[in-house]
């Protein structure tokens, strides 16, 4: 019998929650909704700083802002066409000049850049 009661309690809870959601859908948007829309209009957060080739992590990873300046003899893993914009580590939209990168948290890399841990995006 306790199993029956727990099912009944569960059904009553679901019905109560459904009714509450229905009532909330009918109530007109008030000051809370207006405040939420004001937050949506707030200015965007400032852009992340760009990685410079002098950054200690950039030096360790042999980062170049322009992949065209990579010396293929000095970096034999470099192949023409490799750049941050098509690297697995970068995040961003096609055509962006600067991208977020997993290797440089909190900083952005040049889309045309390259470093020695480049991995082609699938």
pTM, to two decimals: 0.61
Sketch out the chain's domains with CATH numbers.
2-40 (no CATH), 56-110 (4.10.490.10)
96: Cβ contacts below 8 Å, ≥ 6 apart:
85, 111
Q: Would the pLDDT of 28 be above 80?
A: no
Instruction: Check if the beta carbon of residue 56 is closer than 8 Å to that of residue 112.
Output: no
Q: Once rounded to an integer, what is the mean pLDDT over residues 92-108?
A: 93
pLDDT of residue 92: 87
Give the confidence band of 24 by pLDDT, cuts at 50, 70, 90.
very low
For all residues of the chain together, what is the average pLDDT?
A: 79
Ranges of beta strands (E only) in 1-122 are 90-91, 98-101, 108-110
pLDDT in tens, 45-99: 567 899 999 999 999 999 999 999 999 999 999 999 999 999 999 998 889 999 9
- The CA-atom distances, in angstroms, between 45 and each of 40, 41, 67, 68 are 12, 12, 29, 32
Position 91 scores a pLDDT of 92
């Amino acid at each position: 019998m306790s199993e029956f009661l727990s099912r009944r309690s569960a059904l009553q809870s679901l019905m109560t929650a459904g009714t509450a959601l229905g009532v909330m859908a009918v109530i007109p948007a008030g000051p809370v909704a207006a405040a939420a829309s004001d937050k949506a209009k707030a200015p965007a957060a400032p852009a992340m700083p760009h990685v410079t080739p002098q950054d200690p992590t950039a030096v360790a990873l042999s980062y170049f802002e322009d992949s065209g300046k990579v010396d293929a003899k000095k970096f034999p893993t470099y192949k023409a066409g490799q750049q941050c914009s098509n690297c697995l580590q970068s995040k961003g939209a096609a055509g962006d000049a600067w991208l977020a990168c997993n290797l440089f948290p909190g900083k952005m890399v040049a889309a045309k850049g390259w470093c020695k841990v480049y991995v082609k995006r699938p």
